[in-house]
Amino acid sequence: MRSLRHNLRILRVLIAKDLRLEWRSREMLTAMLVFALLMIFIFNFALALDADARADVSAGVLWTTLAFAGSLGLNRSLGQEKDQGCLDGLLLAPVDRTLIFLAKMIINMMSMLLTAAIIFPLYSIFYNVDLYIPRLFGVVFLGTLGYSALGTLLAAMAIQARTRDILLPILLFPLLLPMLVAAVKFTAGILAGALIADLRGWIDLLVVYDLVFLGLGLITFEWLIEE
């Protein structure tokens, strides 16, 4: 119990550190928000469709926007500390490496959730789709959890590469396909008024996806970050 409290305290400290750094620079969140808003505007004018057609494509547009905006945050989450030499100091500290992984994953997830919360109102206006459905928030949570777990793991793999800004998306998006397909299908079903029972297969896929990459991250992050 004492060890658990100690680890939770360290995790809070790591998260607070990243939040303070982001609050001072606001680089990661600003880049994600600007990119997401630009994509919403571009899709709005590119998809000059009627209301029914817009409703049909809204789930795909939403998750495409979140996925590409999230990739900007992933590059910054570890890359900034690597460039400034902070990562070496963090690795020298007597801290369990899995706590570093969890802290980075939670920060990436918080950034995506905050981006989603900000773009949802604009998205609802432009696409005439009501996104304020409680069940939809659950989909966004499950999707961003899997995205952040996988993205943080791959960011640790690409951190030493000179071309990490290019390498990370190349590694990320093929592995994201199962999650994106499930999230889009689940979101489209909710927007269409389908019952949760009818979407059970997509829910199970999202949960399994999250558990697999969260487990892989906890197991392999220490080895990846020290290579």
- What is the pLDDT tens value at each position of the chain, 227 positions in all? 557 777 788 888 888 888 887 777 777 778 888 888 888 888 777 766 555 666 667 788 889 888 988 888 787 777 666 666 666 667 676 778 888 889 889 999 998 998 888 888 888 887 777 778 888 888 999 999 999 999 989 888 877 767 777 888 888 999 999 999 999 999 988 888 888 888 889 999 999 999 999 999 989 888 877 66
SS3 letters for the chain? CHHHHHHHHHHHHHHHHHHHHHHHHCHHHHHHHHHHHHHHHHHHHHCCCCHHHHHHHHHHHHHHHHHHHHHHHHHHHHHHHHHCCHHHHHHHCCCCHHHHHHHHHHHHHHHHHHHHHHHHHHHHHHHCCCCCCHHHHHHHHHHHHHHHHHHHHHHHHHCCCCCHHHHHHHHHHHHHHHHHHHHHHHHHHHHCCCCHHHHHHHHHHHHHHHHHHHHHHHHHHHHHHHC
pLDDT of residue 206: 94
Domain boundaries, the chain: 2-226
pLDDT of residue 79: 66
pTM: 0.87
